[in-house]
Structure 1
Amino acid sequence: MLGPVETRSVSPVFVGRAEELGTLHDALVRAREGEPQALLIGGEAGVGKTRLVEEFAAAARHRGAVVALGGCVEIGADGLPFAPFSTALRSLRRELPGELAAAAAGQEEELARLLPELGESKAGRHDEDGMARLFELTARLLERVAAEHTVVLALEDLHWADASTRHLLSYLFRTLRTGRLVVVATYRSDDIHRRHPLRPLLAELDRLRTIRRLELARFNRDEVGRQVAGILAHEPEPDRIDAIFERSDGNAFFVEELAVAAHEGCRAGLTDSLRDLLLVRVEGLPETAQQIARIVAEGGSTVEYRLLAAVARLAEDDLIEALRAAVNASILAPAPGGDGYRFRHSLVREAVGDDLLPGERSRLNRRYAEALETDPALVPADQRATRLASYWYHAHDAAKALPAVLEASVEARRRHAYSEQLRLLERAMELWDTAPDAVRRTLRPVDDAEVYPP
């Protein structure tokens, strides 16, 4: 069993995406009939965009299509000019050297701006007319190559695309009218903040009826189970699937990492590489926004805005600016149906929490507990006792935690939450010996009727 696990973290079984793959296959059929197709595939990082494109590319090759892959490259603040087109055309030249040479005949000097292998680029005009001519020649080149061969042009990571790449892609989507061509482009939806340069292009392309746009959702519990089974090469226990599904939020990449980490006995359940990857974007935030992320990580799955403000102790303008930075970076998200914030991924919250120093974690929990004691209305009434008990417990203040935990256990019993009551009473036993005598003497005994459900 160990052999397959050690050599692969990616499931050999393609899971889910039947509808999306069907849409791509339909586009291939239409393209083979001479109707060019354009598709945009969006989804958060790690959700499975690349895997979907790979599966489609393999199926397209099996049906006789020529597949040319290209990807945007992130360099500094902007991407490498025309990088995905240059890579894709280079791939096309390897697959169909004669056809591409014939299609480019007479225009090699200008097309060399995209594909240097065609020759020395012409020292022509560097204005809008010159760019428009390059775009037109590129469209004509693709149409000619795709006249006799079905061609799939797949461009990945548009969120890193430079302006020239975005403009060329927009031109192709608008002008390609003939040829057996499928153009597929992918982008990370969680990277497209309000001021991202790709956002206007997506809004513009949405209005074109010739473009189909797919948004990949996270996996459900059954799909996660099949993915884990493929990675481990055996059917995992239901409890393990439940745990991985809850922690991964159905993100395919996180499922892979957690499945292998659990199998290898990683104590924290997060490999060092995954933890580092999860923290990269957080560490790129301004310092105040990083501070807010750390505070939210200790507050619970969702933290109300007023509670967050009380704990952060920042001027309101500074707090809002920090929250905006964290939301734009897709670290935090407004809580649905409420006035609060949560992490977009529970694993990012876990990684941020794990990165806190022991004293830092205790201090933050004490701040939460003190803020809640000062103003109980900061959280919903049905959560108050449980959250206060949790904050004091993780603040390592036995004198405050013991009575709070016992009160929360009584509230849990009142609501017939007996498993939660048992967990709280176990915490009370843990705290009993470390709590001051003066605190223990103020607590009334808990009888069997309060501990055991009727």
Structure 2
Amino acid sequence: MREHSDPQFSSPVFVGREPEAVELRQGLANVLAGTGRLFLISGEPGIGKTRLAEELGKEARGRGARVLWGRCWDGEGAPAFWPWTQIFRAAVGNTNADRFDLLTDTDATHVVSLVPGLASSRGSSALPPLRVLASAEPAEARFRLFDSAARLLKEIANTAPLVIVLDDLQQADQSSLLMLRFIARELKEASILILGTFREAEVRASPALSRLISEIAGEGRQIVLGGFSQSELAAFVEQRLGSAPGASLLAALMQSTAGNPLFVDSVLRMLIAERKELNGELLSSRDFKVPDAVAETVRRRLSFLSESARAILSIGAVCGQEFEFDCLREVSGITGEALITALDEALRDGLLYSVLAGNLRYRFAHNLIRATIYGDVPAAKRIELHWQIAQTLERIHQADLTAHSAEIAHHYLGSVAVGSPAKAINYSIQAGEAALEVSAYEEARHQWQAAVALMERYETNSSRRIDLLYKLGKLTYEAIDFAEGIACFEHALNLCRQRSDNRRNAILLLALGRAKTRWTPQANIGNGLNHYRAAEALIDRNQLDLLGELYHGRTLADFDAMLIDEGLDVSAQALKIYQKVGDKCLWTVIAAHRA
């Protein structure tokens, strides 16, 4: 639950959850004594997961710990590692000069790549040049990034214990969850407490997500929150109303909300807004029907806002779970004072809260609120707003489009029907490349798949489509899924065969040859060798890069297939190529196979 400022409500205090709070306080005591802990809090939307985390944060700050929050988005344009970006931005970006010296460590330079603008904001001499993570093998690059992140957090925790809250993990990108799993295993002797929250049903709906969350939970303790008990509900309602509720009101609330704090709070607010005068006895005797779904409760709450406030919330909902004041102002066309008045109205009603992170931003108090509002925006209007938001974000962030490419791509994708497919494709490609640079392979795949899907409709004869399919295949084969990578190569080859482009055809045949001759479940050495032979017929003798790759691949495959004579022949050709281009490393590899 979020703190509200409705004058008809008493100032909210924390109610119930005593067993869970005791366990978390004990975990905090462990961390203050130097032993790291991990907790995951699960439950349905609105059950109080975030509020319980907030209470732990208050306790931790009171005992000298630093509390850092990373909030996850549900895929609406957020860059890879977004929750961790927020954590490192808060941990390092606003720190004092002495603590910032930690970043001069080589490990820390990896982490800076997750926080756009951090290095430049400190001056050119503050940091050594960033490593290019993509230059390493995918698994190695990701390990180095995760290890650097863990080491930096430990160093920061040496100055003061850390409490890290990762909210709404069911919305996190897979790269963020993999980093959490890695860091969780490094907590044993660190003064760090990590607390993650997630919605149980949404995690269960995805087998892959469920497995990953289970692995993370296995590194610590999972706390499952249910609805309020009868006594907790009574205390909660009394705290909200300022007087003891009647039995009939409590019975109706429990029956209709199952003790979900958000639902209870929403119903009470609706009733108060309708009656204008609050009286516990009046509410208990009133013959009211609680809405069947919280969406209806949200709609009723919205009905008591001004038209301008509702319009602003509709635009904000299309922007995303979190949105910028500057973007909202440009898209809405409402003047500054009127806009602030409308936003204040939503803030007072507890529908939004402000996020002070650089430029002023606002966030919906709960994703259910945002989802309800977004769903009620007519489809045609949503498309138009996505188009306007995309253009506005381009203007606002013109100096640093790469850092916002995923968000801009999301809005151009949402407005393809009336907007620019080319821009949607371009930004999706750019967002994928940005994700790849920080080893967020799943996010890169997601962005490139979106671009390929649009190209299927709008760039059917484009060589760029073939090239992107090749890159997507290379990424997925090397870092995510062998079969998916091979399927991308085959799709690209089928398209390329319709063109007179020997070089591209050869590159794709080489990729398939390499993929089919590696020891994976998809291996088929005979088929792979056929691909290599087909590629050889297309390669010019002066294309040394392709010839080197061909003979290198053939050498390994022929020897694996026990085709010794052919292997010796092609390996001799490979040695000549590598000697000619001066590649001592690959020359040594081939020579070793001939030995």
Kindly indicate whether the alpha-carbon contact (under 8 Å) linking 2:37 and 2:194 is maintained by their aligned counterparts in 1. yes
Equivalent of residue 201 in structure 1, options 191, 212, 231 = 212
Q: Kindly report which structure 2 residues correspond to 1:356-395, keeping only aligned pairs within 5 A, or say none.
A: none
Q: Partner of 2:572 in structure 1?
A: none
Deviations 1:318-346 (A, max 9, x none): xxxxxxxxxxxxxxxxxxxxxxxxxxxxx
Most deviating of 267-276 and 220-229 = 267-276
SS across alignment from 2:47: coil
Q: Partner of 1:218 in structure 2?
A: 227
Unaligned runs of 5+ in 2: 121-129, 276-287, 301-371, 377-595
**CA distance in structure 2 between the aligned counterparts of 1:153 and 1:99, rounded to whole angstroms:** 21
**CA distance in structure 1 between the aligned counterparts of 2:229 and 2:210, rounded to whole angstroms:** 28
**CA distance in structure 1 between the aligned counterparts of 2:66 and 2:9, rounded to whole angstroms:** 29
**CA distance in structure 1 between the aligned counterparts of 2:294 and 2:143, rounded to whole angstroms:** 44
**CA distance in structure 1 between the aligned counterparts of 2:294 and 2:210, rounded to whole angstroms:** 31
Kindly indicate whether the alpha-carbon contact (under 8 Å) linking 2:253 and 2:290 is maintained by their aligned counterparts in 1. no
Most deviating of 64-73 and 198-207 = 198-207
Letter in 2 for 1:214: I
Q: Partner of 1:51 in structure 2?
A: 51
**1:125 is the counterpart of 2:153:** no
How far apart are 1:115 and its partner, in Å?
A: 2.0
Change over 3 Å in CA distance of 1:88–1:224 after alignment to 2: same
How far apart are 1:33 and its partner, in Å?
A: 1.1
Letter in 2 for 1:158: L
Unaligned runs of 5+ in 1: 280-350, 356-454
**CA distance in structure 2 between the aligned counterparts of 1:134 and 1:149, rounded to whole angstroms:** 23
Change over 3 Å in CA distance of 1:178–1:100 after alignment to 2: farther
**CA distance in structure 1 between the aligned counterparts of 2:94 and 2:227, rounded to whole angstroms:** 35
Kindly indicate whether the alpha-carbon contact (under 8 Å) linking 1:244 and 1:259 is maintained by their aligned counterparts in 2. no
How far apart are 1:246 and its partner, in Å?
A: 1.2
SS across alignment from 1:264: helix
Q: Partner of 1:160 in structure 2?
A: 171
**1:90 is the counterpart of 2:89:** yes
Kindly indicate whether the alpha-carbon contact (under 8 Å) linking 1:99 and 1:145 is maintained by their aligned counterparts in 2. no
Q: Partner of 1:72 in structure 2?
A: 72
Kindly indicate whether the alpha-carbon contact (under 8 Å) linking 1:103 and 1:141 is maintained by their aligned counterparts in 2. yes
Kindly indicate whether the alpha-carbon contact (under 8 Å) linking 2:93 and 2:118 is maintained by their aligned counterparts in 1. no
Change over 3 Å in CA distance of 1:100–1:171 after alignment to 2: farther
**CA distance in structure 2 between the aligned counterparts of 1:144 and 1:8, rounded to whole angstroms:** 46
Q: Partner of 1:294 in structure 2?
A: none
Q: Partner of 1:19 in structure 2?
A: 19
Deviations 1:11-60 (A, max 9, x none): 61211111111111111111111111111111110000011011110111
Deviations 1:69-114 (A, max 9, x none): 11111124x9641111111121223564345422222335422222
Root-mean-square deviation (CA, aligned residues, Å) is 2.9
Q: Partner of 2:252 in structure 1?
A: 243
Equivalent of residue 296 in structure 2, options 275, 283, 292 = 275
Deviations 1:176-210 (A, max 9, x none): 333211111111112123424320112223444xx
How far apart are 1:123 and its partner, in Å?
A: 2.8
Change over 3 Å in CA distance of 1:117–1:79 after alignment to 2: closer
Kindly indicate whether the alpha-carbon contact (under 8 Å) linking 2:256 and 2:290 is maintained by their aligned counterparts in 1. no
Letter in 2 for 1:119: A
Equivalent of residue 147 in structure 2, options 136, 160, 166 = 136
Equivalent of residue 188 in structure 1, options 160, 174, 199 = 199
Q: Partner of 1:174 in structure 2?
A: 185
Deviations 1:293-312 (A, max 9, x none): xxxxxxxxxxxxxxxxxxxx
Q: Answer 1 or 2: higher relative contact order, Cα 8 Å, separation at least 6.
A: 1
Kindly indicate whether the alpha-carbon contact (under 8 Å) linking 1:39 and 1:185 is maintained by their aligned counterparts in 2. yes
Deviations 1:117-154 (A, max 9, x none): 43275433252211110100000001111113111011
Change over 3 Å in CA distance of 1:226–1:38 after alignment to 2: same
How far apart are 1:263 and its partner, in Å?
A: 2.8
Change over 3 Å in CA distance of 1:91–1:180 after alignment to 2: same
Equivalent of residue 261 in structure 1, options 249, 270, 287 = 270
Change over 3 Å in CA distance of 1:32–1:139 after alignment to 2: same
Deviations 1:338-361 (A, max 9, x none): xxxxxxxxxxxxx9xxx9xxxxxx
**CA distance in structure 2 between the aligned counterparts of 1:254 and 1:38, rounded to whole angstroms:** 29
SS across alignment from 1:218: coil
Percent of aligned pairs sharing the same letter: 26
Letter in 2 for 1:224: L
Q: Kindly report which structure 2 residues correspond to 1:316-327, keeping only aligned pairs within 5 A, or say none.
A: none
Letter in 2 for 1:19: P
SS across alignment from 1:242: helix
Q: Partner of 2:160 in structure 1?
A: 149
**CA distance in structure 1 between the aligned counterparts of 2:19 and 2:236, rounded to whole angstroms:** 17
Provide TM-score, normalisation by structure 2. 0.43
Change over 3 Å in CA distance of 1:99–1:228 after alignment to 2: farther
**CA distance in structure 2 between the aligned counterparts of 1:196 and 1:6, rounded to whole angstroms:** 41
Letter in 2 for 1:205: I
Letter in 1 for 2:56: F
Change over 3 Å in CA distance of 1:109–1:207 after alignment to 2: closer
Letter in 2 for 1:131: R
**CA distance in structure 1 between the aligned counterparts of 2:296 and 2:188, rounded to whole angstroms:** 47
Change over 3 Å in CA distance of 1:25–1:117 after alignment to 2: farther
Provide TM-score, normalisation by structure 1. 0.55
**CA distance in structure 2 between the aligned counterparts of 1:185 and 1:269, rounded to whole angstroms:** 32
**CA distance in structure 1 between the aligned counterparts of 2:292 and 2:274, rounded to whole angstroms:** 10
